[in-house]
Amino acid sequence: MADAHAKPNHDYHIIDPSPWPFIGSVGALVMALGGVAWMQYLKSGDFPVFGLNLANPWLFFIGLAIVLYTMYSWWSDTIKEAHEGHHTRVVSLHLRYGMIMFIASEVMFFVAWFWAFFDASLFPDEVHQVMRTEFTGGVWPPKGVEVLDPFHLPLYNTIILLLSGTTVTWAHHALLHDDRKGLIWGLVLTVALGVLFSMVQAYEYIHAPFGFKDSIYGATFFMATGFHGFHVFIGTIFLLVCLLRAMRGDFTPKQHFGFEAAAWYWHFVDVVWLFLFASIYVWASSGATIAHGH
């Protein structure tokens, strides 16, 4: 049995027993309970569990630390398995299927935010929903709301993301041609552009002429663009890890799924932003009052 496990005559990888699914589940549970405890703490309430009042923010961060450690350890094991030659043609194909399914699930997340935005914006004067008319004044954007100039910072960020899409593609082609220098510089530029995008969006949020709780416009705007901004943040970390691995010499022209997955994720973030820019920034500002200086 041991010899068959060490020298399999198939393309599948029978992994060794791993503690990370269980530890990750515990971390996720602790983080979820911690989120409830934190919200109770913010409203000066109690969160009794087995006779203890856990209304504090620390439980959430303990769960987050467990989840982050699990992610690091589990992915480290996956990288180790790849270096040991376990990522055969079939295993690599299934890894790609998994990434495709993950991105598809992310698409559905964004569908929910777009649905909320268009449901409110296309029917601001819905006859059978009196409260909606009160929220919007029967028009979109709602009465009294000044919007951002789509051809100022939003256009600037669009150019940044499109450039980052070209640099990550350059890095990918450099890797396929075994150009280590081109791979590293392409990733350096992509990470730098990702950081720049986040900085510009943070500046935009700070100077936005409307708030999250001011109107349904602000709520849908910040949920959709903020959720995308979170994905840019995660994608930047993803690419930064790929940069560190590239500098270490991990990737080869024939084996580089980690980088390929990061590139897919980044292109997904790019495409979603184009839809956000076209609908929430450009279309929704048509005929609206543009805030001066924004």
Which tens digit of pLDDT belongs to each residue from 113-152?
999 899 888 876 654 454 455 566 667 888 778 888 899 9
Question: pTM for this structure?
Answer: 0.86
pLDDT at 128: 45
Are residues 47 and 40 in contact, defined by beta-carbon separation less than 8 angstroms?
A: yes
Q: Point out the domain boundary residue: 86, 111, 139.
A: 86
Helices 216-248, 89-122: inter-axial angle, 10-degree rounding: 160
Are residues 152 and 294 in contact, defined by beta-carbon separation less than 8 angstroms?
A: yes
**Which segments of the chain have a pLDDT < 50?**
1, 4, 127-128, 130-131
Task: Assess whether 179 and 271 both reside in one domain.
Answer: yes
Distance CA 216, CA 218 (A): 5
Task: Assess whether 49 and 173 both reside in one domain.
Answer: no
Which residues does 282 contact at the CB level (< 8 Å), separation at least 6?
A: 150
Which tens digit of pLDDT belongs to each residue from 204-237?
999 988 888 878 888 999 999 999 999 999 999 9
Burial (CB count within 10 angstroms: exposed 0-12, middle 13-18, buried 19+), residue 215:
buried
Q: Point out the domain boundary residue: 57, 86, 115.
A: 86
Identify the bridge partners of residue 128 per DSSP, sorted by sequence position: none
Phi then psi for residue 147, to 5 deg, are: -105, 170
Task: Assess whether 162 and 225 both reside in one domain.
Answer: yes
Domain encompassing residue 100: 88-294
Q: DSSP string of 7-32?
A: S-SSS---PPP-SHHHHHHHHHHHHH
Number of domains into which the chain is organized: 2
Q: Point out the domain boundary residue: 65, 86, 107.
A: 86
* Full 3-state SS string of 162-229: HHHHHHHHHHHHHHHCCCHHHHHHHHHHHHHHHHHHHHHHHHHHHCCCCCCCCCHHHHHHHHHHHHHH
Domain harbouring 76, CATH code: 1.10.287.70
pLDDT at 127: 43
Task: Assess whether 92 and 71 both reside in one domain.
Answer: no
Task: Assess whether 115 and 165 both reside in one domain.
Answer: yes
Are residues 208 and 239 in contact, defined by beta-carbon separation less than 8 angstroms?
A: no
Task: Assess whether 19 and 81 both reside in one domain.
Answer: yes
Task: Assess whether 187 and 263 both reside in one domain.
Answer: yes
Task: Assess whether 145 and 189 both reside in one domain.
Answer: yes
